[in-house]
């Protein structure tokens, strides 16, 4: 079924509102994927805080003119889908790469992370990074560690002082 001019314009506007505005976009090839697999991929990306759309290459190329994604225009060939989001790039990259491991029909073409173009191989490296929550937890642990050791040291000094006083008291009782 052919798209009407109005429908094409709506798609271009949709791509501009979603793809071009998103700081994190991963382009995928999905030739030969089943409908169930595509639905599963869409659900995984959604659970990671992103969106998954199958794009019309010509319309997407028109939508990305003059935008950050223009550097990836050679990847808008063949069957193309985009997984994108505004939150965390690592979570979306993990969802896509884990799915690509399970379903060989999905290929990681390229991506855009915080305005920087990345190759398909680099998406796997991004997926191996710890999530934002993990990094915050590690940072808090590192910040808390010196304070905790200081508190333990101060507590140990007090404990030793009390032990010495107790020993002095016992010695005086025994002597006198």
CATH number for position 40: 3.30.70.1730
45 with 10, same domain: the answer is yes
Residue 40: is its pLDDT beyond 90? Answer: yes
Structure confidence at residue 43 (pLDDT):
93
Structure confidence at residue 74 (pLDDT):
86
134 with 145, same domain: the answer is yes
Residue 1 — very low, low, confident or very high, per pLDDT cuts 50/70/90?
low
Express each pLDDT in 109-149 by its tens digit.
888 888 788 888 888 888 877 877 888 888 888 888 788 77
Q: Name the residue range of residue 75's domain.
A: 5-129
Residue 99: is its pLDDT beyond 70? Answer: yes
Average pLDDT over residues 99-106: 87
The two three-digit tokens of residue 73, written as one number: 């225009």
Range scoring the smallest mean pLDDT among 46-55, 64-73, 115-124: 64-73
Provide the mean pLDDT of the chain. 85
Asked if 120 and 109 touch (Cβ cutoff 8 Å), the reply is: yes
139 with 62, same domain: the answer is no
């Amino acid at each position: 079924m052919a798209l009407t001019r109005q429908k094409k314009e709506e798609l271009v506007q949709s791509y501009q509102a979603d793809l071009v505005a998103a700081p994190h976009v991963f382009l995928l090839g999905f030739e030969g994927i089943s409908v169930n697999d595509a639905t599963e991929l869409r659900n995984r990306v959604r659970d990671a805080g992103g969106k998954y759309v199958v794009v019309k290459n010509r319309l997407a190329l028109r939508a990305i003119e003059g935008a950050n994604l223009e550097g990836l225009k050679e990847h808008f060939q063949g069957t193309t889908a985009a997984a994108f989001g505004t939150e965390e790039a690592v979570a979306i990259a993990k969802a896509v790469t884990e799915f690509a491991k399970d379903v060989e029909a999905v290929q990681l073409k390229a991506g855009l992370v915080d305005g920087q173009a990345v190759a398909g191989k680099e998406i796997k490296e991004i997926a191996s990074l710890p999530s934002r929550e993990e990094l915050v937890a590690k940072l808090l642990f590192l910040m808390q560690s010196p304070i905790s050791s200081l508190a333990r040291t101060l507590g140990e000094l007090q404990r030793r002082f009390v032990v010495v006083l107790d020993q002095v008291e016992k010695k005086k009782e025994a002597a006198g």
